[in-house]
Homo-oligomer: A and B are copies of this chain.
């Protein structure tokens, strides 16, 4: 590879002049330099630039699961909003694991100027090395337990889950199964609480018996649903706190030959990728995905440009209950039967 010195020599100027030319300053020999660059096939060495400038022109994007369509779409939003600014993206997966996240973030130290992070758990934190370097961080979809020091882009998890709960309650369901995500992650905890609180406000109390805590992955949804279905008095409605667990739960329902919504009504937080193709079409709490990523990217861009307020911003995007065909009132036997309604008691 040819260096800036090769170009300088070939153009008959000093290295500094070439550097100025490259950085957009007016120089006399611009024609010669231009030609020398073409001839030598010179490309500025980004590493050397970084060493000098202290900036890498890269940002890190750390997500718990890239094969989760939500994150895949969010990443698309981030990309769309970062390309213009000539920032490259380091995309990393943490597999919903705090340990892995620590590794990943550690590896990112010194490689990125900024970070978009969807923390695996709220109890984790940004490594001190990153903090000391003053790397701006925007939290995506999830926060840390500490009163947040960083910008964040969330959705109304409580409200969305609450909508689902109210909807099921108002259809007349009393035995409602809940498949929550890990309570150690923001969406897991908030949806969990939002759902149960809304249920309570409707005069329903969720017995532990009907609550399962998964890990946001498909298998946990499958196991949770399976276990709920095996209850002596299985739920007449099911809420899954994210797309992947919903997919798992649906597989369990299918296996058990449970009819939806005839036997069991079903709502999930997050749309499923092929949700429109399923029979029945799934009623879901839907939310922006690409847009969430895009917003995170633009908050970060502002920080990088330095024109962002000192205090962190917390953006909460709205959810919407998309009522489709997977819910209906509970079967008659349950609607009437006092004896069946043991675990979730009205009022």
Q: Is the CB of A73 within 8 A of B67?
A: yes
Q: Hey, what's the 0/1 contact readout for A105-132 against B, CB within 8 Å counting as 1?
A: 0011111000000000000000011001
Which of B67, B111, B277 is within 8 Å of A88, CB to CB?
Answer: B111
- Residues of chain B lying within 8 A (CB to CB) of residue A86: 107
Taking A44-B110, A67-B75, A89-B91 as given, write out 17 further A-B residue pairs in contact, using a Cβ cutoff of 8 Å, ordered by the A residue number: A1-B132, A41-B132, A46-B110, A47-B47, A47-B110, A51-B51, A67-B73, A69-B273, A79-B92, A79-B93, A88-B90, A90-B90, A90-B91, A247-B273, A251-B277, A254-B277, A273-B273
Question: Is A310 in the interface zone, CB < 8 Å from B?
Answer: no
Q: Hey, what's the 0/1 contact readout for A307-346 against B, CB within 8 Å counting as 1?
A: 0000000000000000000000000000000000000000
Give A1 to B130 CA distance when docked, in angstroms. 10
Which of B45, B76, B251, B273 is within 8 Å of A66, CB to CB?
Answer: B76
- Residues of chain B lying within 8 A (CB to CB) of residue A43: 109-110, 129
Query: Could you give 30 example pairs across A and B, Cβ below 8 Å?
Result: A1-B132, A1-B133, A41-B128, A41-B132, A43-B109, A43-B129, A44-B110, A46-B109, A46-B111, A47-B50, A47-B56, A58-B90, A58-B111, A66-B76, A69-B69, A72-B72, A75-B93, A88-B107, A88-B108, A89-B90, A89-B91, A90-B91, A91-B91, A247-B274, A247-B277, A254-B277, A274-B274, A277-B278, A278-B278, A279-B279
Smallest CB gap from A76: residue in B: B67
Question: Is A196 in the interface zone, CB < 8 Å from B?
Answer: no
- Residues of chain B lying within 8 A (CB to CB) of residue A128: 41
A83 to chain B minimum Cβ distance, whole angstroms, is 8
Give A58 to B273 CA distance when docked, in angstroms. 32
Question: Is A272 in the interface zone, CB < 8 Å from B?
Answer: yes
Question: Is A250 in the interface zone, CB < 8 Å from B?
Answer: yes
- Residues of chain B lying within 8 A (CB to CB) of residue A91: 66, 89-91
- Residues of chain B lying within 8 A (CB to CB) of residue A302: none
Smallest CB gap from A129: residue in B: B43
| Interface members, chain A 41-78 (any B CB < 8 Å) | 41, 43-48, 50-51, 56, 58, 66-67, 69, 72-73, 75-76
Q: Is the CB of B45 within 8 A of A110?
A: yes
| Interface members, chain A 129-158 (any B CB < 8 Å) | 129, 132-133
